[in-house]
Amino acid sequence: MRRFDGRVALVTGAAHGIGRATAQRLAREGAAVVVADIDVDAGEKVVAELAATGAEALCVACDVTDRESVHDAVSTTVDRFGGLDVLVNNVGVATDTPFEDVGEEEWRLQVDPTLNGAVRTIQAALPHLLRAKAGGAVVNVGSVNGLAAFGNEAYSAAKAGLISLTQNLALRYGRRGLRVNLVAPGTIRTRVWSQRLDKEPDVLERMAELYPLGRVGEPEDVAAAVAFLASDDAAWITGTVLRVDGGVLAGHTSFVREVFS
């Protein structure tokens, strides 16, 4: 499929994991892709991979906690490609600190990039998305943590806020041609698990048993859902939360026993 021919997509947190897979998927379907990440070296590697396939791609340094950095990333995108059609907000930060030990600074370090970072990026991109010829699309990467109790209270609160933001912006800008949706992944096999895997090599296999589909997710599972919501196949979909969770919310009780044990 070439659903994004002639369109420009900016993906934050695109140097690794879900963001990287999303950049790859959008590029494969014809988009000119901007890999926006604080890890520029890794971002450049992603761009090299995309360029090797014939895709148009650009890496920009982007710290979503810094408004100027975000505006610079969007401006560079528009200067290079002439516009912006798709924005994917993928940055999220979580820690395993028990709630009673989370101080104000640690709370901020999770909530600011995860929720406020998306706000900054949408605000910077909004004028360009509203001018997109085929209608702009924002896809926020949320989490099942924003829909049910899975611990990680600061991160979960930020992801819940992202759902509310998605729904409100969908209503506010729908008549102006902008669609705003959110994907809510469950457990995804990314580098965030690396430290825990060092201590518990079987942790993902153990979690897989709690999922009705019998496995944890892969970044490509989420990327496929993001691409759908960003494409014209979802032209009459806005304000929605698409669960990409292997059915875990349907069997939430068993997962909760594992998380809070």
25-36 pLDDT, tens digit per residue, is: 999 999 999 999
Q: Is the pLDDT of residue 79 over 80?
A: yes
How much is the mean pLDDT over the chain? 94
Q: How confident is the model at residue 203 (pLDDT cuts 50, 70, 90)?
A: confident
Domains of the chain, by residue range, sit at 8-187+219-247
Tokens 């659903």, located at residue? 3
Q: To 5 degrees, how large is the angle CA 8–CA 10–CA 15?
A: 130
User: How many Å is the Cα radius of gyration of the chain?
Assistant: 18
Q: Amino acid letter at 71?
A: H
Burial letters 54-69, b for 16+ CB under 10 A, else e: ebbbbbbebbbbebeb
Please give the Cα distance from 112 to 155 (Å, whole number): 10
Q: Looking at 155, 173, 199, 211, which residue is catalytic?
A: 155
Is 133 annotated in the active site? no
pLDDT, one tens digit per residue, over 132-187 is 999 999 999 999 999 999 999 999 999 999 999 999 999 999 999 999 999 999 99
Would you place residue 195 in the very low, low, confident or very high pLDDT band (cuts 50, 70, 90)? low
**What's the CA gap between 49 and 21, in Å, rounded?**
12
Fold of 8-187+219-247: Rossmann fold (3.40.50)
pLDDT for residue 7: 98
- Is residue 63 helix, strand or coil? coil
Catalytic-labelled residue, pool 159, 173, 199, 211: 159
Q: What's residue 256's pLDDT?
A: 65
- Residue 173 designated active-site: no
Mean pLDDT of 102-112: 97
